[in-house]
């Protein structure tokens, strides 16, 4: 069984997805709401799969001073999880350790694989709402015959990175993540397999990639991530053509 660590932050204004707020008409409050919706959908996808959910959170000491409150991040995230999954007692909560994303992801994966000796472990970022239960279970199947499984996102990023053996994780979740993760696997003589591509939403361009997929699935009456879809509907988010290319439309009166 795969342990999936969701690298999570408390959904606080200005703390989460700052580039998304800078590159769209969405306010910091709306972006925090969207982040929470995507995080909930990630929790659900993992919880409904055959994987074990580990919420790997940023502790108060690791938050910028302006984003610290009287509420402990783990308490905030536990409350969100409890309101989302059927049984929060099955969810693990552990603090991230490390000074960079690569260090935190690498430390978590190394601890799970080397110290806890789990069969496989993966990290995800909670910002790829189209990562469904079926994708999570497909990744677990691929990890039975490959040491590394990566889910490609746009612009060379990864929305899922699973391992049965550790690699050199230094700087592996920075820059062109997809290539770096594959290179590190090859350097360690490990086989890599890939999942279907899925948007990881961190910028306005990412949101433009997600919305047509999400609205098309909704129109075709296919499964959609319920919390993210609800946010999109309530905010009237859509993509429209313009002289400068696709642009985000926000119509909360929809």
Assess whether pLDDT exceeds 90 at residue 84.
yes
So what's the pLDDT on residue 251? 83
Query: Please, what is the Cα angle at 38 between 214 and 247, to 5 degrees?
Result: 45
So what's the pLDDT on residue 244? 84
Give the pLDDT band of residue 252 (cuts 50, 70, 90). Answer: low
CA distance 236 to 207: 13
> Do residues 194 and 125 make contact, with C-beta atoms less than 8 angstroms apart?
no
Element (H, E) at 234: helix 226-235
Assess whether pLDDT exceeds 60 at residue 155.
yes
pTM score, two decimals? 0.96
Assess whether pLDDT exceeds 80 at residue 169.
yes
Based on the number of CB atoms within 10 Å of its own CB, is 193 exposed (0-12), middle (13-18) or buried (19 or more)?
middle
Nearest to 39 by CA among 55, 60, 19, 15: 55
Q: How far is CA 206 from the centre of its chain?
A: 13
Assess whether pLDDT exceeds 50 at residue 254.
no
Give the pLDDT band of residue 13 (cuts 50, 70, 90). Answer: very high
Spell out the domain ranges in the chain: 2-200
**Hunting for tokens 């929790």 — which residue is that?**
43
Question: Residue 45: how many CA atoms within 13 Å on its side-chain side?
Answer: 32
Q: How far is CA 133 from the centre of its chain?
A: 13
Q: How far is CA 153 from the centre of its chain?
A: 11
SS3 content of the chain, % helix, strand, coil (to 5): 45, 15, 40
So what's the pLDDT on residue 124? 98
pLDDT, tens digit, for every residue of 89-144? 999 999 999 999 999 999 999 999 999 999 999 999 999 999 999 999 999 999 99
- Token pair in block for residue 194: 């890939």
pLDDT, tens digit, for every residue of 211-250? 999 999 999 999 999 999 999 999 999 999 988 889 999 9
If you average pLDDT over every residue of the chain, what do you get?
Answer: 96
Q: What number is the average pLDDT over the span 57-72?
A: 96
Cα 120 to Cα 45, 49, 53, distances in angstroms: 17, 14, 13
Assess whether pLDDT exceeds 70 at residue 253.
no
So what's the pLDDT on residue 119? 96
**Hunting for tokens 């932050």 — which residue is that?**
9
Query: Please, what is the Cα angle at 179 between 175 and 184, to 5 degrees?
Result: 100
CATH architecture group of domain 2-200: Alpha-Beta Complex (3.90)
pLDDT, tens digit, for every residue of 180-204? 999 999 999 999 999 999 999 999 9
CA distance 138 to 196: 10
Four-residue CA torsion sign, 182, 187, 190, 191 = positive
CA distance 119 to 214: 33
Neighbours of 86 (CB within 10 A): 10
């Amino acid at each position: 069984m795969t342990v999936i660590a969701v690298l999570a932050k408390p959904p606080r204004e200005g703390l989460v997805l700052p580039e998304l707020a800078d590159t769209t008409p969405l306010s910091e409050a709306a972006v925090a709401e969207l982040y929470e919706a995507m995080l909930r959908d990630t929790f659900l996808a993992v919880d409904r799969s055959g994987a074990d959910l580990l919420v790997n959170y940023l502790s108060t000491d690791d938050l910028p001073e302006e984003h610290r409150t009287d509420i402990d991040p783990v308490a905030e995230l536990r409350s969100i999880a409890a309101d989302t999954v059927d049984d929060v007692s099955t969810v693990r909560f552990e603090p991230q350790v490390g000074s960079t994303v690569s260090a935190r992801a690498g430390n978590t994966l190394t601890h799970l694989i080397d110290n806890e000796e789990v069969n496989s472990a993966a990290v995800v970022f909670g910002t790829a709402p189209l990562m469904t239960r079926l994708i999570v279970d497909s990744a677990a199947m691929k990890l039975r015959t490959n040491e590394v499984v990566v889910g490609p996102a746009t612009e060379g990023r990864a929305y899922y990175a699973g391992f049965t053996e550790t690699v050199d994780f230094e700087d592996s979740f920075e820059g062109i993540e997809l290539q770096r993760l594959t290179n590190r696997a090859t350097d360690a003589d490990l086989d890599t397999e890939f999942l279907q591509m899925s948007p990881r939403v961190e910028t306005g361009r990412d949101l433009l990639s997600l919305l047509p997929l999400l609205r098309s699935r909704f129109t075709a009456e296919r499964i959609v991530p319920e919390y993210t879809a609800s946010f999109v509907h309530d905010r009237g988010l859509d993509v429209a053509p313009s002289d400068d290319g696709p642009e985000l439309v926000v119509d909360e009166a929809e």
